[in-house]
Each structure stands twice: as structure tokens, then as C-alpha cells.
């Protein structure tokens, strides 16, 4: 029997995304965003509040990077969600992480995060109910250490962080339990 829980954010898992931007002075800022998702084959949407440092930076630079946080950098990823770039000018520097300029878009690539999407701004999605940033993925970079023999990202090697909305915890993913677009195929057959 199910028990009523009221209004809770009952989506699990949520990605732990590190959004990298430059401000008008080319200073690196990184924001932790769990409320983001792939929107189509080459698009991503991030639900970021208008006025956040990252929002303002994207408005200025028209670009951003989206990195997948991993277990090895959980403390830094969590810090990027706690600290505000609007209030802490040395936010990125405090972590000791390293950034290089993307060769595809005007945004930083944080070297320590193993997978990064380089994105150009398509639009800001603002309605009465949402505030989002839509970007086109122009390239994805991945450390060789997280790639399988076929050159694809292996979740078991990635150790990507997942955010738990229920108890505000971080988890990792990795165990493959089935093959998408295959497990349900037996149900396609008519009796």
C-alpha cells in the first residue's frame, strides 16, 4: 500500500551537473545544477534562476559547459552548489580545480571532471513557472579513463554522482542491469 507523502520532488536520480561559465572579465564560475536534462539529440536544458551568476554569465557570453560530477570530486561539486558566485568572488579558486578555455565555445572546461559538454546558448526559457537555459551541444569531451573499448563512456568507470531529492544525498551509478530498447521487446509480441 502506498502512503501519501505530500508534495515532494519525487524524481530520482537527478544528475549532478557542473555548469562552467566566464563572466565579462573572463573569470571562471561553476554552478552545481541538479535540475537539468537532455532536451533532444543535441540540446540540453538547465533550470537556473534568473539573476544567478551563471545565468548572468551565459547571458553575457552566450555559451557554457556542462560537466558530469564524479565521486572523486564530490566535495568540490557540493561546494559549487553551496557557494554563490554573486557573493564569493574567489569561489572557483577555493577548490584548487583547473580550467582551460574550450576550443569550441566561449566557456571553461574544468579539467578534473571526466565528461564535459560544450554548449552554445539557444535561448532563455522564461515563463510564469520556469526559468531555464537551453543550449546546443556542439561537442562532448571525455577522459580516456572513462571510455570503454569502443570509445563510449562507461558508467561503471565514470562514477558519476547522482542527486537524491528525497533525502538530499549523493549516490553513484555504475551497475548495468539491462539493455535499453531490448528488455521490453518480448512484450511487443502479440499473443
Q: Quick one: average pLDDT of 113-127?
A: 96
Q: Is the pLDDT of residue 9 over 90?
A: no
How many residues in total does the chain contain? 191
Average pLDDT, the chain: 93
Q: What is the pLDDT of residue 34?
A: 87
Q: Is the pLDDT of residue 94 over 90?
A: yes
The half-sphere exposure of 165 on its side-chain side, counting CA atoms within 13 A, is 12
Cell numbers representing residue 9 in the block: 520532488
Q: Is the pLDDT of residue 175 over 90?
A: no
Q: Residues 16, 77: contact at Cβ < 8 Å?
A: yes
Measured distance CA(48)–CA(131) in Å, rounded: 6
Map out the domains of the chain with their CATH numbers.
Answer: 14-182 (2.30.110.10)
Q: What is the pLDDT of residue 74?
A: 96
Q: Provide the 3-class DSSP secondary structure of residue 46.
A: strand
Q: What is the pLDDT of residue 141?
A: 98
DSSP single-letter state for residue 166: T
Confidence band of 125 (pLDDT split at 50, 70, 90)? very high
Q: Is the pLDDT of residue 111 over 90?
A: yes
Q: Is the pLDDT of residue 79 over 90?
A: yes
Give the rounded percent of residues in the chain with a pLDDT score beyond 70: 99
Residue whose entry in the numeric block shows the C-alpha cell 558508467: 155
Q: What is the pLDDT of residue 5?
A: 84
Q: Is the pLDDT of residue 191 over 80?
A: no
Q: What is the pLDDT of residues 128-166, one digit of tens each?
A: 999 999 999 999 999 999 999 999 999 999 999 999 988
Residue whose entry in the numeric block shows the C-alpha cell 551565459: 58
Q: Lowest mean pLDDT of 57-71, 89-103, 118-132, 170-184, name the range.
A: 170-184
Question: Which range, 2-11, 42-51, 179-188, has the best average confidence (pLDDT)?
Answer: 42-51
Amino acid at each position: 500500500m502506498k502512503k501519501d507523502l505530500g508534495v515532494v520532488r519525487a524524481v530520482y536520480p537527478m544528475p549532478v551537473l557542473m555548469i562552467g561559465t566566464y563572466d565579462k572579465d573572463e573569470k571562471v564560475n561553476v554552478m552545481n545544477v541538479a535540475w537539468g536534462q537532455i532536451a533532444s539529440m543535441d540540446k540540453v536544458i538547465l533550470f537556473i534562476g534568473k539573476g544567478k551568476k551563471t545565468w548572468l554569465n551565459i547571458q553575457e557570453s552566450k555559451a557554457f559547459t556542462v560537466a558530469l560530477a564524479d565521486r572523486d570530486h564530490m566535495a568540490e561539486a557540493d561546494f559549487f552548489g553551496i557557494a554563490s558566485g554573486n557573493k564569493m568572488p574567489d569561489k572557483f579558486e577555493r577548490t584548487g580545480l583547473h580550467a582551460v578555455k574550450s576550443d569550441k565555445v566561449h566557456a571553461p572546461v574544468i579539467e578534473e571532471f571526466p565528461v564535459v559538454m560544450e554548449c552554445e546558448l539557444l535561448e532563455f526559457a522564461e515563463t510564469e513557472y520556469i526559468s531555464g537555459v537551453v543550449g546546443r551541444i556542439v561537442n562532448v569531451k571525455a577522459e580516456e579513463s572513462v571510455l570503454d573499448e569502443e570509445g563510449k563512456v562507461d558508467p561503471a568507470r565514470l562514477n558519476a554522482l547522482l542527486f537524491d531529492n528525497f533525502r538530499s544525498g549523493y549516490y553513484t551509478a555504475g551497475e548495468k542491469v539491462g539493455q535499453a530498447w531490448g528488455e521490453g521487446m518480448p512484450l511487443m509480441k502479440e499473443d
